[in-house]
Amino acid sequence: MKVLIPSALRSYTESPHAEAAGDTLADVLVELERHYPGIRFRMIDEQNRIRPHIRFFINGTQARELTQALRPTDELVIVQALSGG
Amino acid sequence: MARNQGNQPAAGKHVVVMVATRKGAWFYHGNETRETWRCDGPHFLGHIINHVVLDPRDRRTLLAAAKTGHLGPTVFRSTDFGRTWKEAARPPAFATAADGNGRAVDHTFWLTPGHPDEADVWYAGTSPQGLFRSTDGGISWAQFSSINDDPQVRKWMGTVQDGTPDGPKLHSIIVDPRDPNHLLLAMSGGGVHESVDGGRTFRLAIDGLEVVEGMDAGDPTFHDPHCVRMCPSKPDRLYQQNHCGIYRVDRPSTQWRRIGRNMPKDVGDIGFPMVVHPRDADTAWVFPMDGTSVWPRTSPDGKPAVYGTRDGGESWQRLAGGLPASDAWWTVKRQAMTADGLDPVGLYFGTTSGELWLSRDEGARWECIAQHLPEIYAVEVAELP
């Protein structure tokens, strides 16, 4: 599926877009990690919790759980939420 | 104050000051006399950089503890003095708990190179309190379960609400130059801890330290050591700037003594950094801040000064030449003051208002190297050939 990468993570992908496959959000993030080592830990902590200022949107709807199911035609947008000045 | 006259650093050496800030890192390269400075930066503009440290064993490996407002914590590594950086393959992280309720590293706060005989060993302290070790020069990190998972120590660490405003921290990781298995560390909160077996076990080192009025000094939970330093020239002597005063201990005694009682009463002995002389264990410096009423933690009466002792804390001298005489409400954080190894010793501090100051004569006279930086978190200095 298509993944839109926020500017804060483009040092890993060197592109605003990436392709990754998976049945769930967790799977897609593992796939991204395989292509771009280190990127997952910047978004997901060691307890598998989404970090406070990272948001995931599937086709425009926020996904709050890593178990969220995905289809190959979905579009995943990773967003850096407001975090202060 | 300065006992050494002139300005005679070792031939051929120059110093580099590494400034870590809330918005990136800057390096200032000084010439041999420390009179002119070349700025290299920003590095990691916009990243929160808590500490940048050069490996004194090879003088070329730099580690930077980083995160951003959005992204999780990591460590970056450079072997060409910042021309290129590479992220750690496995940054400090706690073990994943089966129930998902385990702790997560918010940021790596403190970096300490290992013993000279242990090339590529590094230690890291995190927020919340965690101790990590790397044996490959900072590429991968593993945690010390003896501290991080010990139920009693975890109780002493308290919760995030019990810690400092930007998170409870493990800091002041010290490796005894005589023995790589002799380690010290401090936790805010959680007290001072010591290991003589390379970190397999730790014991408390809080005898004589005071705590906030009304609390039990026997409970490590209430101890807030701000910065602990071991004297390189006399490793049996430790100095400490604590939330509740300035202390010294001389081994084999385990009793800390509040040498801050000898500070002027109108200045007090509250602050964050503690700096020791590289060759004279009787000489140390602090940067006092206002610890009265609501604890402003700014220079007392708006008159910033370093205070130095030449007799192990029996007496203190005000060292403010060149600093603003009034109306300067500065804060200097625990990692933001340091000393070089030249003769006379150069002292450096950075303020939360983004100014970097230098004294080339052990504190007698100060001058500003840089202004308008972001909030300064840490200042380290290294000597390069």
- Taking an 8 Å cut-off on Cβ atoms, the answer to whether B96 and A46 are in contact is yes
B363-381 pLDDT, tens digit per residue, is 999 999 999 999 999 999 9
What is this model's ipTM? 0.92
In this structure, what token pair is assigned to residue B350? Answer: 């950075």
Nearest CB neighbour to A83, from listed B69, B103, B105: B69
C-alpha B329/C-alpha B339 separation (Å) is 23
Question: What pLDDT score was predicted for residue A82?
Answer: 73
B119 CB within 8 Å of a chain A CB:
no
- Taking an 8 Å cut-off on Cβ atoms, the answer to whether B71 and A42 are in contact is yes
Question: What pLDDT score was predicted for residue A84?
Answer: 64
With a CB cutoff of 8 Å and minimum separation 6, the contacts of B195 are B146, B181, B182, B183, B184, B201, B202, B203
Nearest CB neighbour to B70, from listed A44, A46, A80: A80
Measured between beta carbons, which residues in chain A are less than 8 angstroms from residue B96?
46-48
Q: For residue B11, what pLDDT band results from cuts at 50, 70 and 90?
A: low
Query: What is the pTM for the complete model shown?
Result: 0.95
Question: What pLDDT score was predicted for residue B1?
Answer: 33
Question: What pLDDT score was predicted for residue B163?
Answer: 72
Nearest CB neighbour to A53, from listed B70, B74, B89: B70
Picking from B227, B125, B129, B235, the residue whose alpha carbon sits closest to that of residue B180 is B235
- pLDDT for B162 beyond 80: no
Question: Which residue in the block uniquely carries the two structure tokens 């178990």?
Answer: A67
C-alpha B82/C-alpha B49 separation (Å) is 14
- pLDDT for B264 beyond 50: yes
Q: For residue B160, what pLDDT band results from cuts at 50, 70 and 90?
A: confident
A34-84 pLDDT, tens digit per residue, is 999 999 999 999 999 999 999 999 999 999 999 999 999 999 999 998 766
B95 CB within 8 Å of a chain A CB:
yes
**A55, closest residue in chain B (CA to CA):** B70
What is chain B's mean pLDDT, rounded?
Answer: 94
B46-91 pLDDT, tens digit per residue, is 999 999 999 999 999 999 999 999 999 999 999 999 999 999 999 9
Pairing of strands A75-80, A54-58: antiparallel
